[in-house]
Amino acid sequence: MKYLIACSADGLISYISFDFGGRTTDKTIVEELTFLNLLEPGAEVMADRRFKHIADQLATIKNHLVRPPSVLSGQKSSKEVVKEAKRIASLRIHVERVTSRIRDFAILQSHATIKLSLVKYLDLIVQIVCGIINIQDYLNK
């Protein structure tokens, strides 16, 4: 199963989708959900490389996809590019910590096997896990 889970810059989980089959593409998930419509104009969205296709969708609703600057081989980066890369990396750590905390729950580990009788409860399980994560200490402690 796959979920689209969004978090704020400080690591608070702010959106949880319903489940999708494991072979559903990330592009299909974003297109089928109303997540992008929930964003305020001017919002910056950080996403994995797999989500680069949403840049155009975000632009149409006056939002921006934040990704690390591309570095061409053999080309020196300007100070501004290096600063931006560090800023993005410092925020990206929060996303990785949220993902890690979700994976701390055995039932939600990558490639975990769950009983077929529990699949119908998986959306609720993910919501509860994310709620628990939200009431834990800040991610940067």
**Rounded Cα–Cα distance for residues 104 and 124 (Å):** 17
Q: Is residue 141 part of a domain?
A: no
Point out the least confidently predicted range of 12-16, 77-81, 92-96, 122-126: 77-81
* pLDDT above 90 (res 20): yes
Whether 44 and 64 have beta carbons less than 8 Å apart is answered as: yes
Q: In the chain, at which residue ranges do the beta strands (DSSP E only) sit?
A: 5-7, 13-16, 44-46, 64-66
Q: Flag whether 38 is in a domain.
A: yes
Total number of domains in the chain: 1
Distance of alpha carbon 47 from alpha carbon 57, whole angstroms = 13
Residue 136 is predicted with a pLDDT of 86
How far, in Å, CA of 110 to CA of 116, rounded? 17
| Domain contains 140 | no
Could you give the residue ranges of the DSSP H alpha helices within 40-121? 55-60, 79-103
Beta strands 64-66 and 44-46, pairing class = parallel
> Using 50, 70 and 90 to split pLDDT, how confident is the model at 70?
low
Which of 120, 93, 135 has its CA nearest to residue 19? Answer: 120
The reply to whether 59 falls in a domain is: yes
- Whether 114 is covered by a domain: the verdict is yes
Q: Which domain holds residue 111?
A: 5-135
Examine the pLDDT at 99 and tell me if it is beyond 80: yes
CA–CA gap between residue 15 and residue 34 (Å, rounded): 11
